[in-house]
Amino acid sequence: MPSLRRAKPAAAQSTDAGPDTPPSLTPAELAAQRRKRRTGTLIATPGALYLLIFFVVPLGLITVYSFATRTSTGRTSLSGWNLNSYERIADDVIGGIIARSAWLAFLTTVLCLVVAYPFAYYLATRPPRLRARLLVLVMIPFWTNGLVRIFAIRFLLGSNGPASALSEAMGFGTFRILFTPTAVVLGMVYGFLTFMVLPLYVALERMDWRLVEAARDLYASGAKAFWRVTVPLTRSGIVAGCVLVFVPSFGSYVVPEILGGAKTLLIGSYVARQFQAARNWPLGAALSVLVIVAMLVAVAINQRNSANAERTQGVTR
Amino acid sequence: MSNLGTAGAKRSATHLLKANAWFVFAFLYVPIVVLVVFSFNDSERVNVWQGLSARWYGEALGNTQVISALRVSLIVAISSTIVSTVLGTAVALALDRYRFKGRRALDGTVYLPIVIPDITMAVMLLVFFAEAFKLIDTFGPRLTLGVTTVALSHIAFNISFVAVVVRARLDQFDRTLEEAARDLYATPWRTFRRVTLPLIAPGIAAGALLALTLSLDDVVISAFTAGPGATTLPVYVFSTIRQGVTPELNAISTLMLAASITLVVASLALQRPRSTTP
């Protein structure tokens, strides 16, 4: 930090600078700026340090573990790094689990988008008072205990549960969808739908509806105006929603454990097993790294997209 | 003619939108309502309705395992909420109004605990505690997973949620009020205490309530960072569900539902912008 303390030379330099540079700062202003900087560091440090110890370091450790070796007793040996755990990702069983997780997460995302887009559109086009009330109704399940909500689905769909009893009473016979991929997708849609609704709602609410009117005035049909104007303008919401649904669905653990069966083993449960009964921490770590990489890619796509959206919105204004 | 056609199309589109909205609300609420109704079912068997009774609530509250899990949950939730509210608010303030070294890195990292799948965060922390204990054991004390490790883990994700909520509040903040205070010769600390803090207090409270809710809801991270004696209520419920659905579980779930809905409604009321409150 010594270089920061030398205020005078810096101030002198800035007074020498040409007319295009921003107005130069007096030593007093520079000192104030420095003080502010120090205050910022001071305020941020405890939280940043906590995140460093309990998030960044664990992130690094799991990466290190993914290159480690499992000993015959199920312990993890950190000597002799290798790629064995990553090589196993390509084998049939694990590759199949990853493919299935990605496929079910994709289905969940598409279903959520198809249902949530018209829903968010409806919300965003209501009068403000009604809109606020409907939003509260959306938010309540969003923050309601996720485990209990998935349990509710399990209870509803169970072979002796209310849904089955109802269908039997109506003469359709019992139905069994519990412990199938269908039940898992249904549970994930139920659990993550609001993650899709909220960004779509924000994008639609912020949209400049005059652009749609302009398209209509230029004789675009309703459908054409929707696909060529509304959808592109809400793209940031669509991408954000898809990321927010795909990532937790891909790494989902609770939903397949409660609603799924042997045929719906997903990567989340498989990772958990490696750290529990199977005692293969390096393999579990390698799969976790895979999930984290998928997450980082999704977050990067989302950030690039929202940066683009901000730029184009700046242009239209 | 074509005008009539588009008007008709528009009306049917509106009807479809409305129908879809009803469908979504039904989808979101029906399973919860069914669960609540059946929690008052007197029957031993979950599928046979035998009349209204609070019998299973009595059974649930008389179950010592449930009560001790509830105790653990409350200890973890309250302690992690207090710490994460202080740290998260500080992070939000620093990110919103100061430039400092490492600001960009912090800005990027603070969102990750929100997006990362629970199971990944859980195993990361499990590995971390295993390594940390190995390191500490060489100096003497033997540490094991327990209530403390669960609370430490909850703080790790709650800091991020608090920071995001408080930052949203700071975004709407009228900075001229602070400038006015400073023009009237208030010290920075006094400005913070008398102007900034009262204005962002609803945001901080909303963040704290959210942290409390998330801590009480978490199952995966708790399951992996808890030792045998530190079972939280959601972890208890989760392990019991896997053995099958019982009426007692319905009652416990309904109680958890009631608790989290109360917290959410309180949090939403706090987050509402001032202008709309009557």
Round to whole Å and give the CA distance between B117 and B119.
6
Judge whether A106 and A246 are in contact, CB under 8 Å.
yes
Mean pLDDT of chain A: 85
Average pLDDT over residues A295-311: 85
Distance between CA atoms of residues B181 and B197, nearest Å: 13
What's the pLDDT tens digit per position in A223-258? 888 899 999 999 999 999 999 999 999 999 999 999
* DSSP 8-state secondary structure symbol assigned to residue A53: I
Closest CA to B162 of B38, B23, B17, B267: B267
Residue A154 lies in a domain: yes
- Mean per-residue pLDDT for B246-271? 86
pLDDT at position A314 is 55
Contacts of B238 in chain A (CB under 8 A): 147, 254, 257-258
Identify from B116, B214, B275 which residue to disrupt to test chain A contact, counting A C-beta atoms within 10 A and taking the largest count. B116
- What pLDDT, on a 0 to 100 scale, did the predictor assign at position B220? 95
The residue segments making up the domain with residue A98 are: 89-316
Residue A18 lies in a domain: no
* C-alpha–C-alpha distance, residues B242 and B250, integer Å: 14
Are A148 and B237 inside 8 Å of each other by CB?
yes
What mean pLDDT do residues B15-35 have?
Answer: 93
Split at pLDDT 50, 70, 90, the class of B6 is low
User: Which residue in A55, A243, A247 is closest to B156 by CB distance?
Assistant: A55
Residue at A6 is within a domain: no
Alpha-carbon radius of gyration of chain B:
24
How many CB contacts within 8 angstroms connect chain A with chain B?
Answer: 262
Query: Residue A149 falls within a domain, yes or no?
Result: yes
Please state the rounded mean pLDDT for residues A4-16.
39
Tell me the percentage of chain A whose pLDDT exceeds 70: 91
> Best of A35, A66, A145 to disrupt the B interface by mutation (most B CBs within 10 Å)?
A145
**pLDDT given for residue A39 in this prediction:** 86
Please report where in the chains the tokens 């303030």 appear, as a residue: B93
- Show residues of chain B in contact with A44, CB under 8 Å: 90-91, 94-95, 98, 100, 102-103, 106
Where residue A290 sits, what CATH number does that domain have?
1.10.3720.10
With tokens 């994700």, the residue in question is: B157
- A66 within some domain: no
Query: Which pLDDT belongs to residue B2?
Result: 46
A40: Cα separation from own chain's centroid: 29
> Does A4 have pLDDT greater than 70?
no
Q: Is the pLDDT of residue B1 over 60?
A: no
CA distances from A202 to A142, A197, A247, B110 (A): 16, 9, 20, 22
Quick check: A305 pLDDT over 50?
A: yes
Q: Which of B276, B229, B184, B187 is nearest to B65 (CA)?
A: B229
What DSSP string runs through B202-242? HHHHHHHHHHHHHHHH--HHHHHH--TT---HHHHHHHHHT
pLDDT at B277: 40
Shortest CB distance from A162 goes to which of B6, B38, B264? B38
Confidence of residue A3 (pLDDT cuts 50, 70, 90): very low
Structural tokens at position A139 = 């938010």
Asked if residue A99 is part of any domain, the answer here is: yes
Residue A277 lies in a domain: yes
Which candidate from A39, A58, A258 shows the least CB-CB separation from B98? Answer: A39
Position B274 confidence tier, pLDDT thresholds 50, 70, 90? low
* Contact in structure between B143 and B243 (CB atoms under 8 Å): no
Residues of B in contact with A144 (CB under 8 A): 32, 257, 260-261, 264
pLDDT category at A44 given cuts 50, 70, 90 is very high
Tell the residue number behind the tokens 């390096």, with chain if given.
Answer: A282
Q: Is the pLDDT of residue A95 over 70?
A: yes
The overall longest dimension of chain B from CA atoms, in Å, is: 89
Angstrom distance (rounded) from CA B71 to CA A292: 33
B234 touches chain A (CB under 8 A): yes
Among B24, B91, B127, the residue with its CB nearest the CB of A48 is: B91
Distance of CA A308 to the CA centre of its chain: 19
Of B166, B210, B32, the residue nearest A147 (C-alpha): B32
| Interval A174-180 mean pLDDT | 81
Residues within 8 A of A (CB atoms), B 177-206 only: 188
Percent residues over pLDDT 90 in chain A: 49
Element (H, E) at A69: strand A69-70
Query: What is the predicted pLDDT for the residue at B272?
Result: 67
Beta strands in A29-73 (DSSP E): 69-70
Task: Examine the pLDDT at A297 and tell me if it is beyond 70.
Answer: yes
Mean pLDDT on B226-254? 89
Percentage of chain B surpassing pLDDT 70? Answer: 94
A40/B47 touch (CB, cutoff 8 Å), yes or no: no
Whether residue A298 is contained in a domain is answered as yes
End-to-end Cα separation, chain A, in angstroms = 43
In this prediction, residues A193-198 reach a mean pLDDT of 94
Q: What is the rounded average pLDDT for all residues in chain B?
A: 88
Q: State the DSSP H helix or E strand holding residue A226, giving kind and residue range, or none if neither.
A: none
State both tokens at B137.
């054991």
| pLDDT computed for residue A12 by the predictor | 40
Question: Could you tell me where the DSSP H helices lie in chain B?
Answer: 2-39, 55-62, 64-97, 103-109, 112-115, 118-137, 147-171, 175-183, 188-191, 197-217, 220-225, 233-241, 247-271
A76 three-class SS: strand
Token couple for B216: 């009480």
Q: What is the ipTM of this complex?
A: 0.89
Is A317's pLDDT higher than 60?
Answer: no
The number of folded domains in chain A is 1
Q: What is the tens place of the pLDDT at every residue in B28-85?
A: 999 999 999 989 988 777 667 777 888 889 888 888 999 999 999 999 999 999 999 9
CB contact under 8 A, A275 and B155: no
How would residue B159 be classed by pLDDT, with cut points 50, 70 and 90? very high
One-letter amino acid for residue B198 of the chain: P
Q: Which domains does chain B have, with CATH numbers?
A: 64-276 (1.10.3720.10)
Among chain A residues, CA nearest to B260: A144
How would you classify the pairing of strands A76-77 and A69-70? antiparallel
What pLDDT, on the 0 to 100 scale, is given for residue A1? 35
- What is the tens place of the pLDDT at every residue in B80-118? 999 999 999 999 999 998 888 889 999 989 999 998 999
